[in-house]
Structure 1
Amino acid sequence: MIKLGYARVSTLEQNLNLQVDALKYEGCKQIFTDKVSGVKSVKPEFEKLMDYARTGDTIVVWKLDRLGRSTVQLIELMEKLKERGIHLKSLSESIDTSSAMGNLFFQFMCILAEHERNIIRERTKAGLASARARGRKGGRPTGLSERYQLIAPEVRQVYEKNNRSTDEIRQMFNIKSQPTLYKILTFAGADVKGFLKKRK
């Protein structure tokens, strides 16, 4: 049973020293580092860490946001670690899932994540009702998974801000292809006229 550190910064210009020093002081036997945006679905060194970690080990981070950008994303990771018997410790938030208080925090996070999912579902239903009232049919496009349905309102919000390319949106939400993004936006009731010509 050992402590394994993970540190991440978003760009090549940012410095990892603060996080790495704190992880060394904590007693981490090995430290994995990524220089990649938090919205990226693939973090190479973190994947190596997950392969390296064993039951009873503790993954240590400087802050929880080094692991994920959303509550749901973080909870999914914590559930995966719990299934494998791996603990998680955050130095800034003083959270350690190997302790009773840490487990209590985990349960609270699960409640928050479920609340977040319920809000998204309600927004989706309200959006569909509004679309029907305006004469649009809406509904689930063929092949659209439940996960994509849940994130559809958030995807639409980012898309309609018009400050990110479609490729960036796909990376943010881990959407596999442009046609799938089109389906998600259609499901959310977004105005997708000229979608294929817009913001490559």
Structure 2
Amino acid sequence: MKDGKTKRAAIYARVSTDGQTTENQLRELHLVAERNGWPIVHEFIDQGISGAKGRDQRPAFDALWKGAVRREFDVVMVWAVDRLGRSLTHLVNFLSEIHAKKVDLFIYQQGIDSTTPGGKALFGMMGVFAEFERSMIQERVKAGIKRVRAKGQRWGRKTIEETDPDICTRILELRQKGLGMGAIGKQVGVSSRTVWRFLRGVEASSQVA
């Protein structure tokens, strides 16, 4: 597992109810880190929070994500893949993000360790899924706009919905990552109401036969 460089580890643990404990998760992950010589520099724990909730509703997971982007550690350690989340979309987004930042992943229960050659190859597949998902989002935006135009309708401000498909794509990507309307608006430079109106339009257009 070692590659000649000491890897700084961050542990993420989560339980869905306040009556549960992360003690077992933490104990096993600490043992693995010790065996591999990985100093643990961060522990992120979401207590009593469902994995179905988005990033904006899981403060520790959000902090983990931001820490990975800033390269505050070299490997993320979790007990099981469902600790990261129960939404496939959110999971793929997170894994593709840390893969892009060259942060490794260790998942105890599934035996995934991207610090090894085999694990790294498996982890690399996340990029394929992420690119596929992005292309699907772009197609969804284009198809939605086309349907609305065909009906002679508008989705609000022309500069967003009709002339800036890249912003539309970004809004959907951020929403799938679990961000709220206000946070999305700040990142793409529009109001939260504009984000809400756009997402409502996408949802409505997707129901058009």
Please indicate, yes or no, whether the TM-score normalized by the shorter chain is above 0.5: yes
Distance apart, 1:109 and its partner CA: 0.9
Do residues 76 (structure 1) and 101 (structure 2) align? no
Give 1:179's aligned residue. 193
CA 1:49–1:112: 2 relative to 1, 3 Å: closer
Do residues 34 (structure 1) and 50 (structure 2) align? no
Distance apart, 1:139 and its partner CA: 8.2
Aligned residues: 173
Contact 2:29 2:77 in 1 (8 A): yes
CA-to-aligned-CA distance 1:12-60 (integer Å, 9 cap, x gap): 3443233223213324554442224541336346379657944xx4331
Write out aligned runs for 1:87-166 (5 A).
87-138=104-155, 141-142=158-159, 146=166, 148-150=168-170, 152=172
Do residues 9 (structure 1) and 11 (structure 2) align? no
CA 1:170–1:90: 2 relative to 1, 3 Å: closer
1:46 aligns with one of 64, 69, 72:
64
Alignment partners' CA distance in 1, 2:182 and 2:82: 16
CA 1:173–1:10: 2 relative to 1, 3 Å: farther
Query: What amino acid does structure 1 have at the position aligned with 2:98?
Result: L
CA-to-aligned-CA distance 1:70-91 (integer Å, 9 cap, x gap): 21232112322x0xxx422111
CA 1:110–1:186: 2 relative to 1, 3 Å: same
Alignment partners' CA distance in 2, 1:23 and 1:134: 56
The sequence identity of aligned pairs, in percent, is 31
Q: Which runs of 5+ in 2 are unaligned?
A: 1-5, 186-190
1:33 match: secondary structure? strand
Q: Which runs of 5+ in 1 are unaligned?
A: 159-168, 192-200
Contact 1:32 1:49 in 2 (8 A): no
Query: What amino acid does structure 2 have at the position aligned with 1:74?
Result: L
Distance apart, 1:188 and its partner CA: 2.0
1:116 match: secondary structure? helix
Alignment partners' CA distance in 2, 1:118 and 1:48: 25
Backbone CA RMSD of aligned residues? 3.8
Q: TM-score, normalised by structure 1?
A: 0.64
Alignment partners' CA distance in 2, 1:185 and 1:7: 32
Alignment partners' CA distance in 1, 2:66 and 2:130: 26
CA 1:73–1:139: 2 relative to 1, 3 Å: farther
Distance apart, 1:108 and its partner CA: 0.9
